[in-house]
Amino acid sequence: MAEAVAAPQYPSKRQFDKLVAYVQELVKDHNALEERVKQLENHEASRQRIENEVVERRTKKLAAKAVQAANNECDRQQRDSLL
């Protein structure tokens, strides 16, 4: 028994146009999301750079305080040895 093969169903012009509009909207959303990702990556890179600068300044400040404390201790020891 031979089965009847149905002819392929093609979308109507209206359905095709609707599908094209949907795909265009998807592309638009995709591009907007890609742009947002780039913005967030740039923001994160800036945040990390600023955070690294703050840490570097704190480290230099602490090192300067340690040097000053060591100098003060040396000065105190010299004064005490003179007495």
Least confident segment among 9-13, 42-46, 51-55: 9-13
Question: Tell me, what's the pLDDT at 20?
Answer: 97
What is the C-alpha to C-alpha distance for residues 27 and 62, in angstroms, rounded to an integer? 52
Could you tell me if residue 10 is inside a domain? no
Contact in structure between 56 and 48 (CB atoms under 8 Å):
no
Which pLDDT does position 83 carry in this prediction? 65
Specify the pLDDT at position 74: 83
Structural domain including 68 reads 21-83
In a domain, residue 6? The reply is no
Residue 59 domain flag: yes
Integer Cα distance of 69 and 64 in angstroms: 9
Rounded to whole angstroms, how far apart are CA atoms 11 and 23? 15
pLDDT in tens, 29-47: 999 999 999 999 999 999 9
Question: Is 4 inside a domain boundary?
Answer: no
Task: Select from 80, 56, 78, 60 the least CA-distant residue to 68.
Answer: 60
21 or 11, higher pLDDT? 21
How many domains does the chain divide into? 1
Give the distance from CA 54 to its chain's centroid.
18
73 within a domain of the structure (yes/no): yes
